[in-house]
Amino acid sequence: MKKRLLAMLMAGTMALSMTACGGGGASDGGEAADGGEAAEGAAKIGVSMPTQSLQRWNQDGTNMKEQLEAAGYTVDLQYAGDNDIPTQVSQIENMIAGGCDALVIAAIDGSALTEALKGASENNIPVISYDRLIMNSDAVSYYATFDNYKVGQMQGEYIRDALDLDNAAGPFNIELTTGAPDDNNVNFFFGGAMDVLQPYIDSGKLVVPSGQTEKAQCATANWSTEEAQKRFENIITSVGYGPDGVKLDAVLCSNDSTSYGVQNALQAAGYTADNMPIITGQDCDKPNVKNLVSGLQSMSVFKDTRTLADATVKMVDAIVKGTEPEINDTETYDNGTGIIPSYLCDPVIVTKDNYEEILIDSGYYTAEDVA
């Protein structure tokens, strides 16, 4: 905590001695959002995103850069290839060596940045862990994310209510899919959902015919659509699921990329919108919203990246100005060095019935985007 307080005090004066951030990334900022040059001596913020292969990270990076530049900061936005950890480590080290005054990092592997961030601690550079908590590093000053436990709860509650588990006789068949084992968020997504669903599994009202109920068994490397599809194809074959085979009532999927892989596998096995099981998701990726509208996916949890970017920019602004950022959680997120003060944004359930209001009327997508 002493380091965090010192970092905040130091950050207010560091704008007097700034140099350019490390280059070599996908996008190096330097102009304000209105097209004008950033003010001379403006603070320089390094933003590290994990990949451009998933839609949501492109949106996160773009929103972050636009809002930081609109606030008057110079931005070095970099993507680490396709979830390449050595690339992200190198980019972060370059940002530190190049004199960035604060770092916003969405980690590929929350435990892989301990050494890279020692330089941030030594140079009193504040670090905001973005969306995914960076573990085992005392360089992390704050955490900005959505309420990820609530995301999982929403998914579990949706399945509970759609199957009417409190009243229907059952039993119902369900399978479970979650994301990357090195992403700390999985603990909250999967944990939140299973806290809702586990009592029904224990009572026998929900049955997992594959027997794969542990987080490690249900994990998907890099949240990959292809890996999720392969795993689910194996489950379909081993259990005998199919429109004319063993009935599948629901699939818990922690996000949209894994959900899309599951849907691909089920469609290849003969399922259509008319007999598709209940399938959850998260992020409201465009292909998934299209499937949601057509009936192939039941719901997705929307995490408006504009909201998270706005909260993070306010956090950066407070840190650079030497004031206390707004936080609303001081109990939940321990990264191994202590509780990290956090700001949690609220997620929202999106279905076929409300997607226009939440996604299109808000300007997040156009009707053509998800037609």
pLDDT of 48: 96
| pLDDT for res 11 | 41
Question: Do 131 and 152 share a domain, yes or no?
Answer: no
Domain boundary among 303, 323, 357: 303
Of the candidates 82, 303, 48, which has an alpha carbon nearest to the alpha carbon of residue 185?
303
Per-residue pLDDT, 305: 86
| pLDDT at residue 359, rounded to an integer | 97
Considering only residues 120 and 1, tell me which one the structure prediction assigns the higher pLDDT.
120
The CATH code of the domain that includes 229 is: 3.40.50.2300
What pLDDT, on the 0 to 100 scale, is given for residue 20?
A: 36
Single pTM value for the model:
0.81
Statement to judge: residues 58 and 93 lie in one domain: yes
152 and 94 share a domain?
no
How many other C-beta atoms are found inside a 10 Å radius of the C-beta of residue 337? 15
pLDDT (0 to 100) of residue 29: 38
Q: Are residues 177 and 236 in the same domain?
A: yes
Q: For residues 260-268, give the mean pLDDT.
A: 98
Q: Which residue, among 227, 158, 214, 211, has the nearest Cα to 186 in the 3D structure?
A: 214
Residue 17: pLDDT over 90 = no
* 172 and 308 together in one domain: no
Q: Which two tokens stand for residue 99?
A: 């004199």
Average pLDDT along the chain: 89
Q: Give the pLDDT score at 150.
A: 97
Residue 32 falls inside a structural domain? yes
25-34, 314-323, 335-344: least confident range: 25-34
Is residue 367 a part of any domain in this protein? no
Asked if 193 and 257 sit in the same domain, the reply is yes
Is there a domain that residue 364 lies in?
no
Domain count, the chain: 2
CA distance 215 to 323: 40
Long-range contacts of 39-42 (CB under 8 A, 24+ apart): 39/72, 41/15, 41/16, 42/15, 42/18, 42/72, 42/73, 42/74
Q: Which pLDDT band holds residue 53 (cuts at 50, 70, 90)? A: confident
Tell me if 189 sits within 8 A of 224, measured CB to CB. Answer: no
In a domain, 350, yes or no: no
Shared domain for 279 and 155, answered yes or no, is yes
> What was the pLDDT predicted at 39?
52
pLDDT-derived band at 8 (thresholds 50, 70, 90) equals: very low
Residue 162 has a pLDDT of 98
pLDDT band at residue 59 under the 50/70/90 scheme: confident
156 and 254 assigned to the same domain = yes
Residue 28 has pLDDT above 90, yes or no: no
- What's the whole-number mean pLDDT along residues 171-177? 98
Same domain, 165 and 26: no
- Asked if residue 12 has pLDDT above 90, the reply is no
Q: Answer yes or no: do 135 and 16 share one domain.
A: yes
Q: How confident is the model at residue 56 (pLDDT cuts 50, 70, 90)?
A: confident
- pLDDT, mean of residues 365-369: 95
Buried b (16+ CB within 10 A) or exposed e, 317-335: bbbbeeeebebeeeebbeb
Write the DSSP string, 298-313: --EEE--HHHHHHHHH
Q: What is the pLDDT of residues 61-116, one digit of tens each?
A: 998 899 999 999 999 999 998 899 999 999 999 999 999 999 999 999 989 999 99
Same domain, 102 and 156: no
Residue 370 lies in a domain: no
- Give the confidence band of 42 by pLDDT, cuts at 50, 70, 90: confident
- Residue 162 resides in a domain: yes
Could you read off the pLDDT of 119-170 as tens digits, one per residue? 999 999 999 999 999 999 999 999 999 999 999 999 999 999 999 999 999 9
Q: Same domain for 287 and 308? A: no
Q: Residue 253: what pLDDT?
A: 98
Domain ranges, residue 100: 2-146+304-340
Q: Is residue 366 part of a domain?
A: no
Domain assignment of residue 347, yes or no = no
